[in-house]
């Protein structure tokens, strides 16, 4: 069925009307005083993050009483302090309250939550609450679900023993300290989910005498300060299917055989603990039901043969260990294996040929090892494979011609040769293609145009010889594009190509190639320097490939603040343009000032001329600016002093002049950031722009005046005797006429000239009279 545009518009308005009708019908059941309380609660905060409709969509009222029974705030809706007298605490009939993912700006938890004594669900996660857990909340005896995770709550373990109906308790990612109440589990008989990770908790827990009566199926205790006594009680929780014990701070190696009673366990995360080698052997037939096993950073030096017995295993992570040698052949024959993470070990190869991943494989990562040999074409036979990361190894040979089947291909830092296969078919799934730091030649394949989902393209540090691929600007989702250190050449703005504008580009890295020509003033007019996403801990990132068992994030090498940095798997990056190390000339386009989200700009080592654009002052997010080693002239614009985030500036080796603008953005820079500009002065360069005037005292002035009077007196006294002596000498010289003559050697050869006249005609330069290349002096003077 084909829908015409009017039909689509009608359908859209129907959906909007239906959702509005549902919201209005839900609110019709609410009493007016409840609506007023809700609106007063909203008015207590900055709520630019949501409008009235968004806010009220999370409200439900009882059909009979008209009281508000459910309030779920949209994420990012409120900013402000939750006060004890808030209108929220007037909604006494609330049974479900979710304020998670809002910003209550370091509010403490008001004890008035206890007024809401009908609550069954209370979720305050990711909401910036601080301080201690008020004991009055333990009066909410009907609570089934309590989530206080990802805040800054402190103090001892919360008093929850009265909350006997509790099924879910999440206190993770806080600052709680001290011992966990030993009777926690016996007093909470319905508890099925307990998450205490990332606190400062100690002690142990008691398990009911009849361990089978415990309903606990999910337990997370990692990143605390528990000791060895915690292990034995855990082994009695036989209904567990998820167990996370990362970084327990236990001083001795853990024997995995202690967990053998946990026959129902499906997911086991014991990363960042030392493990007893004997418990990793194939004889240890334990945990046979496991689907996911995480042994990351456990100081293992041998391949864990225990994996051979885990025939249900789908996900294995043995990354960041010290395992040497070859990956055993049986590993690839585990029938259900779909995700294998072998990252950052010291593997040298495989037993036999390069393995064909299991049929269900979706993720194969083996970066930062020492694998060698070719990557076989047979890897293309696994159509389920989504991520292939073999970067930072020693693989050789060509790139397999099946990249279109994969979302992520990372072959960075190997020794691959040949060209990038021109085999990307229409509708290709590729989102990341990173083949940087290899020995690739040829040109960029035009079939990349078929990769409409492509976000990250890096071919840096190869031997690719081509002109700039203007055709790539048709890719709607390209965020990162780097051609650093290849053999690209030609103009970046030829008149027949139109404006160079990528719709979503954040990082463009063209440094160390042979691009030439000038950039027109409008070069950046159609560009967008998009703001990047910020994750929950405030770091900026790109690369968004998440699965229940893995997260892949792109890696990028960047020159930033004068340093060449290789970003890790978490890309803490930003919007940047780097055209350094080319042969670009002409003026820097004023349109650069339109890229207000730009964080790093590097145009160094080119032949740019003219002034530094004053429009750079509009790039308010700029942190790093490198214009060094060009031919820029004029003054440094004082307006750049308004860039409050500017932490690095280099304009060294140009033809700039005048005073360096004063302010923390400039005075805090190294002297080398301004060297090589003869006309520049002021801090941080040595010396000042203007020499201070010499100051004289009154006494010194009077002494100078007296000296001047005495000097004139001496001149007058000596004048008349000198005049008389001069007249006598002139008479003697005039009466003495020796036979001197000058023979001209130049064009007037043979003529004789009076030396006095010659001296006068040579503009008083007696040196010319003595120049033997032009005159010869002879004398027949007889005494």
Listed residue (423, 426, 372) closest to 400, CA to CA: 423
Q: pLDDT value at position 54?
A: 86
Taking the CB of residue 195, how many other CB atoms lie within 10 A of it? 20
Sign of CA dihedral 628, 634, 638, 640: negative
Q: What is the mean pLDDT of residues 529-537?
A: 42
Residue 510 pLDDT grade (very low, low, confident, very high; cuts 50, 70, 90): very high
Lowest mean pLDDT segment, chosen from 288-302, 338-352, 584-598, 769-783: 769-783
Residue 779 pLDDT grade (very low, low, confident, very high; cuts 50, 70, 90): very low
Q: pLDDT value at position 662?
A: 82
Cβ partners under 8 Å of residue 302, min gap 6: 277, 280, 323, 324, 325
Beta-sheet pairing, 551-552 with 545-546:
antiparallel
Answer for the pair 649, 625: CB distance below 8 angstroms, yes or no.
yes
Taking the CB of residue 780, how many other CB atoms lie within 10 A of it? 8
Sign of CA dihedral 112, 114, 119, 122: positive
| Look-up of token digits 């970084």 | 247
Q: In the chain, pLDDT over 70 holds for what percent of residues?
A: 78
DSSP strand E in 581-627: where? 583-587, 600-602, 607-610, 624-626
Locate 370 and state its tokens: 């020492």
Listed residue (43, 61, 63) closest to 52, CA to CA: 43
Strands of 394-397's sheet in order across: 372-374, 394-397, 415-418, 439-440
Answer for the pair 577, 589: CB distance below 8 angstroms, yes or no.
no
Q: How far apart are CA 17 and CA 437, in angstroms?
A: 55
| Look-up of token digits 């007063």 | 40
Taking the CB of residue 427, how many other CB atoms lie within 10 A of it? 10
Q: pLDDT value at position 271?
A: 96
Answer for the pair 492, 519: CB distance below 8 angstroms, yes or no.
yes
Q: What angle do CA 608, 613, 614 make, to 5 degrees?
A: 165
| pLDDT tens per residue, range 156-211 | 999 999 999 999 999 999 999 999 998 899 899 999 999 999 999 998 888 876 65
Taking the CB of residue 775, how many other CB atoms lie within 10 A of it? 18
| Look-up of token digits 């070990």 | 345
Burial of 84 (0-12, 13-18, 19+ CB in 10 A): exposed
Q: How far apart are CA 61 and CA 24, in angstroms?
A: 12
Cβ partners under 8 Å of residue 477, min gap 6: 431, 452, 453, 454, 455, 504
Three-state SS at 714:
helix
Listed residue (489, 540, 528) closest to 510, CA to CA: 489
| pLDDT tens per residue, range 340-390 | 999 999 999 888 778 888 888 899 999 999 999 999 888 877 888 899 999
Q: pLDDT value at position 557?
A: 62
Residue 25 has pLDDT above 80, yes or no: no
Per the model's pLDDT, the better-predicted residue between 730 and 121 turns out to be 121
Q: How far apart are CA 427 and CA 438, in angstroms?
A: 27
Answer for the pair 510, 484: CB distance below 8 angstroms, yes or no.
yes
Q: What number of H helices and E strands is found in the chain?
A: 9, 50
Answer for the pair 579, 511: CB distance below 8 angstroms, yes or no.
yes
Per the model's pLDDT, the better-predicted residue between 526 and 687 turns out to be 526
Q: How far apart are CA 582 and CA 437, in angstroms?
A: 19
Q: What is the mean pLDDT of residues 456-476?
A: 93
Beta-sheet pairing, 624-626 with 292-294:
unpaired
The percent helix, strand, coil of the chain (3-state, each to 5) is 25, 20, 55
Q: pLDDT value at position 346?
A: 93
**Alpha carbon distances (Å) from 421 to 343, 418, 479, 501, 533:** 26, 9, 22, 26, 32
Q: pLDDT value at position 747?
A: 43
State the alpha helices, DSSP H only, in 645-697.
664-667
Q: What is the mean pLDDT of residues 615-634?
A: 94
Q: pLDDT value at position 687?
A: 67
Average pLDDT score, the chain: 82
Q: What is the mean pLDDT of residues 77-84?
A: 94
Q: pLDDT value at position 311?
A: 93
Cβ partners under 8 Å of residue 490, min gap 6: 467, 468, 515, 516, 517
Q: pLDDT value at position 491?
A: 93
Locate 524 and state its tokens: 């950046």
Please report which helix (H) or strand (E) contains residue 43, including its range.
helix 32-43
| Look-up of token digits 């021109």 | 422
Q: How far apart are CA 177 and CA 199, in angstroms?
A: 7
Beta-sheet pairing, 480-482 with 315-317:
unpaired
Residue 5 pLDDT grade (very low, low, confident, very high; cuts 50, 70, 90): very low
Cβ partners under 8 Å of residue 769, min gap 6: 742, 755, 758, 759, 762, 775
Residue 741 has pLDDT above 60, yes or no: no
Q: What is the mean pLDDT of residues 135-139?
A: 91
| pLDDT tens per residue, range 100-124 | 999 998 889 999 999 999 999 999 9
Answer for the pair 121, 98: CB distance below 8 angstroms, yes or no.
yes
**Alpha carbon distances (Å) from 276 to 258, 261, 271, 595, 614:** 11, 18, 13, 56, 65
Residue 94 has pLDDT above 60, yes or no: yes
Lowest mean pLDDT segment, chosen from 244-258, 274-288, 389-403, 749-763: 749-763
Residue 755 has pLDDT above 60, yes or no: no
| pLDDT tens per residue, range 207-244 | 876 655 689 999 999 999 988 788 989 999 999 999 99
Answer for the pair 177, 199: CB distance below 8 angstroms, yes or no.
yes
Q: pLDDT value at position 555?
A: 59
Q: How far apart are CA 295 and CA 106, in angstroms?
A: 36
Residue 448 pLDDT grade (very low, low, confident, very high; cuts 50, 70, 90): very high
**Alpha carbon distances (Å) from 130 to 81, 107, 115, 124:** 11, 6, 20, 11
Half-sphere exposure of 472 (CA within 13 A, CB side): 20
């Amino acid at each position: 069925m084909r829908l015409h545009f009017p039909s689509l518009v009608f359908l859209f308005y129907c959906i909007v009307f239906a959702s509005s009708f549902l919201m209005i019908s839900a609110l019709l059941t609410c009493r007016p005083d409840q609506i007023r309380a809700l609106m007063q609660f909203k008015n207590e905060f900055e709520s630019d993050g949501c409008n009235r409709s968004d806010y009220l969509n999370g409200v439900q009222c009882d059909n009979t009483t008209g009281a508000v029974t459910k309030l779920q705030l949209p994420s990012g809706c409120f900013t402000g302090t939750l006060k004890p007298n808030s209108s929220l605490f007037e909604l006494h009939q609330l049974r479900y309250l979710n304020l998670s993912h809002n910003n209550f700006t370091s509010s403490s938890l008001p004890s008035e939550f206890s007024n809401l004594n009908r609550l069954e669900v209370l979720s305050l996660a990711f909401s910036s609450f601080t301080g201690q857990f008020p004991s009055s909340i333990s009066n909410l005896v009907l609570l089934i679900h309590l989530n206080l995770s990802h805040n800054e709550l402190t103090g001892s373990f919360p008093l929850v023993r009265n909350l006997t109906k509790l099924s879910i308790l999440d206190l993770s990612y806080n600052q709680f300290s001290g011992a966990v109440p030993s009777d926690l589990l016996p007093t909470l008989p319905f508890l099925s989910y307990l998450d205490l990770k990332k606190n400062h908790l100690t002690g142990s827990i008691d398990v009911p005498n009849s361990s089978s009566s415990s309903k606990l199926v999910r337990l997370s205790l990692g990143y605390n300060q528990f000791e060895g006594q915690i292990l034995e009680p855990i082994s009695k929780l036989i209904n567990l299917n998820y167990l996370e014990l990362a970084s327990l701070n236990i001083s001795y190696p853990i024997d995995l055989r202690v967990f053998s009673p946990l026959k129902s366990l499906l997911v086991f995360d014991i990363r960042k603990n030392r493990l007893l080698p004997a418990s990793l052997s194939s004889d240890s037939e334990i945990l046979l039901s496991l689907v996911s096993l995480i042994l990351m950073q456990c100081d293992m030096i041998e391949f864990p043969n225990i994996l051979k017995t885990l025939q249900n295993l789908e996900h294995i992570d043995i990354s960041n260990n010290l395992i040497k040698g070859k990956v055993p052949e049986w590993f690839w024959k585990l029938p259900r294996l779909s995700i294998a993470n072998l990252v950052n070990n010291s593997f040298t190869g495989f037993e036999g040929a390069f393995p064909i991943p299991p049929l269900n494989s979706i993720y194969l990562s083996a970066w930062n090892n020492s694998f060698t040999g070719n990557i076989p074409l047979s890897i293309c036979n696994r159509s389920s494979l989504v991520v292939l990361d073999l970067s930072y190894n020693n693989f050789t040979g060509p790139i397999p011609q099946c990249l279109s089947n994969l979302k992520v291909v990372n072959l960075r830092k190997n020794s691959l040769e040949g060209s990038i296969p021109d085999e990307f078919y229409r509708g290709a799934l590729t989102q990341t293609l990173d083949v940087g730091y290899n020995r690739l030649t040829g040109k960029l394949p035009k079939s990349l145009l078929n990769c409409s989902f492509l976000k990250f393209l890096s071919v840096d540090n190869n031997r690719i010889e081509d002109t700039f691929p203007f055709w790539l600007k048709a890719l709607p989702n390209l965020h990162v594009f780097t051609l650093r250190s290849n053999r690209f050449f030609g103009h970046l703005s030829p008149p027949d190509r139109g404006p160079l504008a990528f719709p979503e580009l954040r990082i463009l890295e063209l440094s160390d190639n042979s691009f030439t020509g000038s950039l027109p003033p409008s070069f950046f007019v159609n560009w967008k320097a998009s703001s990047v996403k910020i994750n929950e801990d405030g770091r900026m990132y790109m690369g968004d490939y998440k699965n229940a068992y893995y997260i892949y994030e792109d890696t990028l090498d960047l020159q930033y603040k004068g340093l060449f940095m290789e970003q890790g798997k978490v890309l803490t990056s930003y919007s940047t343009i780097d055209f350094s190390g080319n042969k670009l000339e002409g003026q820097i386009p004023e349109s650069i000032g339109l890229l207000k989200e730009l964080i790093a700009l590097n145009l160094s080592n080119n032949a740019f001329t003219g002034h530094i654009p004053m429009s750079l002052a509009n790039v308010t997010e700029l942190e790093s600016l490198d214009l060094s080693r060009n031919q820029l002239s004029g003054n440094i614009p004082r307006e750049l002093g308004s860039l409050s985030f500017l932490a690095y500036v280099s304009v060294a080796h140009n033809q700039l002049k005048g005073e360096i603008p004063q302010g923390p953005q400039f005075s805090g820079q190294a002297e080398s950031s301004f060297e090589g500009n003869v006309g520049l002065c002021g801090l941080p360069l040595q010396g000042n722009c203007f020499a201070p005037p010499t100051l004289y005292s009154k006494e010194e002035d009077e002494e100078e005046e007296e000296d001047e009077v005495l000097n004139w007196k001496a001149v007058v006294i000596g004048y008349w005797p000198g005049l008389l002596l001069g007249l006598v000498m002139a008479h003697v010289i005039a009466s003495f006429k020796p036979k001197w003559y000058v023979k001209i050697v130049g064009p007037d050869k043979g003529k004789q000239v009076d030396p006095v006249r010659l001296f006068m005609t040579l503009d008083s330069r007696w040196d010319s009279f003595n120049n033997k290349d032009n005159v010869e002096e002879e004398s027949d003077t007889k005494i």
